[in-house]
Chains A and B, each alone.
Chain A
Amino acid sequence: MSYDRSLVVSCPAAVRDALIALGRGVGVEAGMDVEWSLDGSAPATHYSSHSWVQDAFAALMLRQVYPGDALNRADYAWLPEDWVDGTVLYAMPDGVTRAQIDAILDQCDVSVDAVGDDGRLLSPVEHVDLVASRSGLRRVERTI
Chain B
Amino acid sequence: MVYCSIHDLRGPQTERRCRQDLHRMPHSSAWSYTSLFAGGKPGLVYDVSDFSSMTIGRDGSGGAPSIGDVVGKRFDLSGNGNHAIMPADDARPRLLQDAGGRPYLDYDGVNDGWSRNIGGIPDSCSIFTALDPNDGASDYFLYTDGATTAGIIAHVRPNNIVPSTNAGTPAYKIDGVMLPPPVYTSHLLSALTATGLPHVVSIIGADVSAWTDFGFARVGTRMMPGREYGTIIVDPADTDAADIAHIEAWLAGQSGAVLPS
Chain A interface (Cβ < 8 Å from any Cβ of B): 2-4, 9, 23, 28-34, 49-52, 123-125, 128, 139-144
Contacts and interface: CB of A to CB of B under 8 A. Distances in A.
Interface in B58-78: 58, 66, 68-70
A125 B136 CA distance: 12
A34 B110 contact: yes
A3 B68 contact: yes
A3 B220 contact: no
What is the predominant secondary structure among interface residues of chain A facing chain B?
loop
Contacts of B88: 29-33, 49
19 contacts: A3-B69, A9-B90, A30-B89, A33-B88, A34-B110, A49-B88, A50-B108, A50-B110, A51-B89, A51-B91, A51-B108, A52-B92, A125-B222, A125-B225, A140-B221, A141-B220, A142-B220, A142-B221, A144-B219
A125 B94 contact: no
A72 B94 CA distance: 29
Given A31-B91, A125-B225, A144 B148 contact: yes
A142 B111 contact: no
A123 B69 CA distance: 17
Contacts of B70: 3, 51-52
Contacts of A139: 221-222
Given A50-B108, A143-B220, A29 B69 contact: no
A9 B110 CA distance: 12
What is the predominant secondary structure among interface residues of chain B facing chain A?
loop
Interface of B: 58, 66, 68-70, 87-92, 94, 108-111, 135, 140, 144, 147-150, 152, 164-165, 218-222, 225
A50 B111 contact: yes
A123 B148 contact: no
Which of A9, A29, A140 has the largest number of chain B CB atoms within 10 A?
A: A29
A29 B91 CA distance: 10
B220 A128 contact: no
A141 B222 CA distance: 9
B225 A4 contact: no
Contacts of B218: 33-34
Given A125-B222, A144-B219, A52 B108 contact: yes
A31 B90 contact: yes
A139 B219 CA distance: 12
Which of A4, A49, A123, A139 has the largest number of chain B CB atoms within 10 A?
A: A49
A32 B94 CA distance: 18
